Amino acid sequence: MLYFDHNATTPVAPEVADAMDVALRQVFGNPSSTHRAGQHARQSVENARRSIASFLRVTPAEVVFTSGGTESNNLAIFGLMRNLPGDRKHAVTTVIEHPAALEPFRQLEREGVDVTYLGADAAGLVNVKELERHLRPETVMVSVMHANNETGAIQPIAEIAALVHRLRGAGQSIYFHSDGVQAVGKIEAPAQPGPDLYSASAHKVYAPKGTGILAVRKGVPLHGIQLGGRHERERRAGTENVPGIMGLARALELCATDDPHHVASLRDRFETQVLSALDEVDLNGSPANRLANTSNLLFRGVSGEALLIALDVQGMAVSTGAACSSGAVEPSHVLLAMGRTREEAKSSVRFSFGRYNSEQEVDQVAGAVIASVRRLRATRKAPAREAQLV
Ligand SMILES: *Cc1c(COP(=O)(O)O)cnc(C)c1O
């Protein structure tokens, strides 16, 4: 299987599997236990926390371990919004967020919170000036993702953070959350002062599914939404996923030593081949301001789903839109927000490259895409011509 769907999930790095093998076999204590086995586990978790904190440019006390990106977003959004006072609370987010942020905000609307959903431009970017125009005295939360999972578009979160920090300096109780799940490990962690809340997920950075992080800056009034023991400084109850946390720490160490040009050169090699061989192919999003690993292409006159299946039959994994919504043939909400028609959105396919892909694999998928698109276009035209003759 040739794998080009790294924005959906990544294979586990062998070094991560090794670290977790040790964890699973030797570090079984409950970190909350007083005895030696417990203290060994506690030490392992705290070593991992320190290493992860330094990678994310926050302090260890600001790292909260969760079960993944979805829980981190839920904790950030509900844990902040439900804890802030006021009966006319307002939040600003965007229509291009992952469902793990969109659905919590939709739930808050049902609970009486006023939510503004900003759009995106044709490049898939959120406009900070527009965001600023929608801020009100009662706005308590802004949530804008760092990098989009479908297009790779990198949002101006440093400017948004500066804006929110300025308002807070002027006395407004307002906090900035950013879903960093796609950005972590691919681009630099936000410089401080960055987002007040920042989500990450292990399985997008070559560690297994089921572990995540919410970085919560000091002083952010977040309350846990899952209640129980006093774990994670009372921000997330539940016995820590010790092997998952140790694996995630190892995974981020590896990301820190990744050569950033590797996936960029693979992605560019792929796009050059496909765009020079085929007509009527457009890039979704802007060539700049996007993750180096992501290529979202619109193949006019081709069903994205049919292309995905044609490539799958040849042992190659790609994606149409978000993995979470595939199965349903709904067009991508992100591409629609960028002004694509339903037809165009349904003709789009996302290729997301990763650490273990090679030039040879890229040449194979580019060749398969070119041949498959030609074939799909030909078979699509044929019945139409017959229909005309009849
Ligand atoms: C994958 C993803 C999530 C969800 O993370 P899980 O760990 O799978 O729950 C959230 N946001 C973005 C942008 C993602 O790509």
Statement to judge: residues 226 and 278 lie in one domain: no
Statement to judge: residues 155 and 118 lie in one domain: yes
Statement to judge: residues 237 and 271 lie in one domain: no
Active-site entry in 61, 309, 313, 324 = 324
- Domain ends where: 239, 255, 271? 255
Q: What are phi and psi of 176, to 5 degrees?
A: -115, 120
Q: What are phi and psi of 141, to 5 degrees?
A: -145, 140
Statement to judge: residues 157 and 88 lie in one domain: yes
Tell me, using a 6 A CB cutoff, whether residue 201 lines ligand 1: yes
For residue 382, what pLDDT is reported? Answer: 64
Statement to judge: residues 280 and 378 lie in one domain: yes
CA–CA distance, 206 with 328 (Å, rounded to integer): 27
Statement to judge: residues 85 and 175 lie in one domain: yes
Statement to judge: residues 92 and 24 lie in one domain: yes
* CATH number for the domain that contains residue 178: 3.40.640.10
CA-closest candidate to residue 241, choices 199, 206, 205, 201: 201
Tell me, using a 6 A CB cutoff, whether residue 51 lines ligand 1: no
Low-confidence spans in the chain with pLDDT less than 50: 323, 390
User: Does 324 participate in catalysis according to the annotation?
Assistant: yes
Instruction: Give the position, in ligand 1's atom list, of the atom nearest the Cα of 203.
Output: 7
For residue 390, what pLDDT is reported? Answer: 43
- Domain ends where: 255, 289, 323? 255
Statement to judge: residues 128 and 198 lie in one domain: yes
For residue 260, what pLDDT is reported? Answer: 85
Statement to judge: residues 40 and 179 lie in one domain: yes
pTM, two decimals, is 0.96
Statement to judge: residues 265 and 247 lie in one domain: no
CA–CA distance, 26 with 20 (Å, rounded to integer): 10
Residue 181 C-alpha to ligand 1 middle, in angstroms? 6
Residues 207, 11 contacting (CB under 8 angstroms): no
For residue 330, what pLDDT is reported? Answer: 87
Residue 374 C-alpha to ligand 1 middle, in angstroms? 34
Instruction: Give the position, in ligand 1's atom list, of the atom nearest the Cα of 212.
Output: 7
CA-closest candidate to residue 307, choices 340, 356, 274, 333: 274
- Over residues 225-276, the pLDDT tens digits come to 999 999 999 999 999 999 999 999 999 999 999 998 999 999 999 999 999 9
For residue 286, what pLDDT is reported? Answer: 85
**Burial class of residue 112 (count of CB atoms within 10 Å of its CB; 0-12, 13-18, 19+):** exposed
Instruction: Give the position, in ligand 1's atom list, of the atom nearest the Cα of 9.
Output: 1
| Structural domain containing residue 264 | 2-8+259-389
Statement to judge: residues 134 and 160 lie in one domain: yes
For residue 265, what pLDDT is reported? Answer: 98
CA-closest candidate to residue 201, choices 303, 324, 52: 52
Number of domains in the chain: 2
Tokens of 75: 């904790």
* CATH number for the domain that contains residue 283: 3.90.1150.10
Tell me, using a 6 A CB cutoff, whether residue 98 lines ligand 1: yes
Statement to judge: residues 159 and 176 lie in one domain: yes
Tell me, using a 6 A CB cutoff, whether residue 145 lines ligand 1: yes
Instruction: Give the position, in ligand 1's atom list, of the atom nearest the Cα of 148.
Output: 13
Tell me, using a 6 A CB cutoff, whether residue 94 lines ligand 1: no
Tell me, using a 6 A CB cutoff, whether residue 180 lines ligand 1: no
3-state secondary structure of 249: helix
Tokens of 283: 């890039």
- Domain ends where: 237, 255, 273? 255
For residue 193, cis peptide bond before it (omega within 30 degrees of 0): yes
